[in-house]
Structure 1
Amino acid sequence: MTEQNFTPRVFSGIKPSGGLTMGNYLGAIKRFVDMQGGQFETIYCVVDLHAITVWQDPAELKNATREVAAGYLASGIDPEQSILFNQAQVAEHAELGWIFNCVARVGWMNRMTQFKDKAGQGKAAEKASLGLYAYPSLMAADILLYHATHVPVGEDQKQHVELTRDIAKKFNHDFKTDFFPETVPVIEGPAMRVMNLRDGSKKMSKSGESDMERINMTDDADTIAKKFKKAKSDADALPETVEGLADRPEARNLVNIYAALNDQTNEQVLAEFGGEGWGKFKPALADLAVTKLAPISTEMKRLMDDPAEIDRILSRGADRAREIAQPILKQTYDIVGLLRS
């Protein structure tokens, strides 16, 4: 078989469920912005088909989809440089997802940790939707529908990219082709996993009990500053080396956040603040966060006040996405032997 030369292309997406947090921004969107306009063709998606693996209020889902799109745009995703759309407008995702359901093995799905985390065990898992169980193969279709060569992900999503690689390899092996690339996960930088501001052992979540646990991307400047100043820390001064953060989850989280917001390494942050108390560091972190995040929340509000403009951008992005997706899906059908007149 002839080896393909794949266009360097990035694909990634965010699920519209419950609102964006700073974790989405630092762990995903900021990295998406950094990758556009460089060596990669960049395709970014609001993965609304993934959201309905659990029940969603229809009106709230539409609003949440627009909010994620607003978050992308307000953070610096340029719909001219990148392709931006919502998944449901490109039916090829679901079509390739079915083919990959038939390529993936049940044993592979049984190893996916996120289903166990979300559905529970035993009787509880039996009540989960089939979509929640099978959605990793749809995620593989999201990526491979564009022959994406790279996917920026957090550490907790690496398993999904590994599954995508397994599906690509099995498809290529079964049909004696080299059609799908073995996508590379891109995991780099501080704050790839932003933790709870009240408990540094837990991931920052949209569904946490207290709003003080997280920075919402719609929070205004005063709220952002207040949350950081009240974030949980510990009794000791900041260490002078990264090793000193090892058993201090809250301190490590706040240093990670500062580093990610300021495009620094943790070593550079500690070179400036090592030996200092929280009375100096937390106000500096609050000021930095307000400088970086408040303009985004202001722009998101402006965009959300004009939903027709968001819809126009997503529709145009879907047209551009289909220009890439349709030929790849057509070739997939031909390889599999599915008759299309």
Structure 2
Amino acid sequence: MSSNPSQNKRVLSGMRPTGKLHLGHYHGVVKNWVNLQHEFDCFFFVADWHALTTHYEDVAIIEESVWDMVIDWLAAGVDPGSAKLFIQSRVPEHAELHLLLSMMTPLGWLERVPTYKDQQEKLKEKDLATYGFLGYPLLQSADILVYKAGGVPVGEDQVVHVELTREVARRFNHIYGREPGFEEKAEAAVKKMGKKGAKLYRELRRLYQEQGDGEALAKGQALLESQQNISISDRERLFGFLEGSGRIILPEPQAMLTPASKMPGLDGQKMSKSYNNTISLREDPDAIAEKLRRMPTDTNRVRRNDPGDPAVCPVWQLHEVYSSDETKDWVMEGCRSAGIGCIECKQPVIEAVQAELEPIRDRAREFENDSDLVRQIIAEGSESARDVARETLDEVREAMGLSYR
């Protein structure tokens, strides 16, 4: 398994800088971040290097897009006091770890990532015949591993990227975790646990390695977590020694499946800027009302007294996100009986969207008027993130014989 329980409370997630966010981003990603920040040690970052993997020739809008997105994060409730917010390129250790991992990652692992060929098909107008595009899943792995994140919030389509990260970490630990004299150092570390602790550790190790006792593994990991008189390096050795592997330098992360976003666009498709069917978090209230009033509805409702079917109406999808059961029952009955018209049906959605976005707009206006504060938040978050990343790189360099002390 090669996992280190001490890292399991750390969560990492990032977004490419796309500029101002819309409701699809909010319900699909940011709302989840707001909840996670109260339960985990969260690192949320702007993936500006990742933007270059598909748009390296179009850099003029990156900086503006970065600040617009950060403002929307803050306005939506992501709290810099609870989570570290930073820009990927402000932490160069991401790039160094990516380079070092590329030295030992088989080329075939990258070529088989499903999104590699999928994106080439979808973005035929882009020049994707670059090393950066081929290597971007490994850069994602470096993003995760440099913080030893225990959890990575992803949708089902991104689980494969977390699995690649696990494979990379496993291979790294296998190659570099077998430091010279590993077993001797591990045995010496066991003795530092005291007679009682050492005896229990050895028994739990035996039960796991000889009988595959998962409960013994969990108890052994908990025992190591409780030890106050062993160093971080010794603890990492003992986690690996417990499992029968080498020293765990880069723990394997776990995918945290996020609920599938049900936020449809104004035409019933997935909300996306490329479909021009979005409502942005800072959209003007009058513009929101106008967009929603003009939404297409059931095409069979040509006249006011024609009955309709909510199941084929894009507006119903919004009711499923925003409306109470009572309102949904009213819509279902009124639409099928032609007891209400489409404009009446849309009004509760308009009111609900306005109520959700009003406080976000107000907070965004405050951050728009205080750009120095936004930049300070990112500067402090980037420095805090870099402190953690530096520690990981120190261990990685030492394991790879690059410490030169």
CA distance in 2, matches of 1:185, 1:101: 22
CA distance in 1, matches of 2:290, 2:51: 31
> What TM-score do you get using the length of structure 1 for normalisation?
0.82
CA offset at residue 254 of structure 1? Answer: 2.4
Q: What's the % identity of the aligned pairs?
A: 31
Which residue is equivalent to 1:205?
A: 272
Letter in structure 2 aligned against 1:227: K
Contact between 2:268 and 2:317, CA under 8 Å: does it hold in 1? Answer: no
Please point out which of 249, 264, 267 is paired with 1:179.
249
Q: Does 1:22 align with 2:8?
A: no
Which residue is equivalent to 1:242?
A: none
Cα deviation, 1:258-310, whole Å, max 9, x if unaligned, reads 27xxxx8xx89856754343545422122111111233234324323332221
Contact between 1:190 and 1:256, CA under 8 Å: does it hold in 2? Answer: no
SS at match of 2:5: coil
CA offset at residue 321 of structure 1? Answer: 0.8
CA distance in 1, matches of 2:374, 2:151: 26
CA distance in 1, matches of 2:175, 2:330: 55
Give the direction of change, closer, same or farther, for the CA distance of 1:116–1:125 in structure 2 (3 Å limit). farther
SS at match of 2:6: coil
Q: Does 1:275 align with 2:344?
A: no
SS at match of 2:78: coil
CA offset at residue 121 of structure 1? Answer: 8.4
Which residue is equivalent to 2:265?
A: 196
CA offset at residue 170 of structure 1? Answer: 2.3
CA offset at residue 74 of structure 1? Answer: 0.5
Contact between 1:47 and 1:86, CA under 8 Å: does it hold in 2? Answer: yes
Q: Provide structure 2 residue ranges, at least 5 long, that are not aligned to the other structure.
A: 177-245, 301-307, 336-341
Q: Provide structure 1 residue ranges, at least 5 long, that are not aligned to the other structure.
A: 239-244
Which residue is equivalent to 1:339?
A: 403
Give the direction of change, closer, same or farther, for the CA distance of 1:274–1:306 in structure 2 (3 Å limit). same
CA offset at residue 45 of structure 1? Answer: 0.7
Which residue is equivalent to 2:49?
A: 49
Output aligned runs, 1:33-72, within 5 Å. Answer: 33-38=34-39, 40-53=40-53, 54-55=55-56, 57-72=58-73
Which residue is equivalent to 1:79?
A: 80
Output aligned runs, 1:233-272, within 5 Å. Answer: 233-234=297-298, 235=300, 236-238=308-310, 248=312, 250=314, 253-258=317-322, 270=328
Give the direction of change, closer, same or farther, for the CA distance of 1:270–1:120 in structure 2 (3 Å limit). same
Give the direction of change, closer, same or farther, for the CA distance of 1:188–1:302 in structure 2 (3 Å limit). same
CA offset at residue 10 of structure 1? Answer: 0.9
> What TM-score do you get using the length of structure 2 for normalisation?
0.70
CA distance in 2, matches of 1:121, 1:84: 31
Letter in structure 2 aligned against 1:178: I
Please point out which of 372, 378, 384 is paired with 1:320.
384
Output aligned runs, 1:4-15, within 5 Å. Answer: 4-7=4-7, 8-15=9-16
CA offset at residue 150 of structure 1? Answer: 1.2
SS at match of 1:182: coil
Larger deviation: 275-284 or 42-51?
275-284
CA distance in 1, matches of 2:4, 2:135: 29
Letter in structure 1 aligned against 2:294: K
SS at match of 2:249: coil
Give the direction of change, closer, same or farther, for the CA distance of 1:339–1:249 in structure 2 (3 Å limit). farther
Q: Does 1:231 align with 2:295?
A: yes
Give the direction of change, closer, same or farther, for the CA distance of 1:108–1:124 in structure 2 (3 Å limit). farther
Give the direction of change, closer, same or farther, for the CA distance of 1:123–1:140 in structure 2 (3 Å limit). same
Output aligned runs, 1:126-137, within 5 Å. Answer: 127-137=128-138
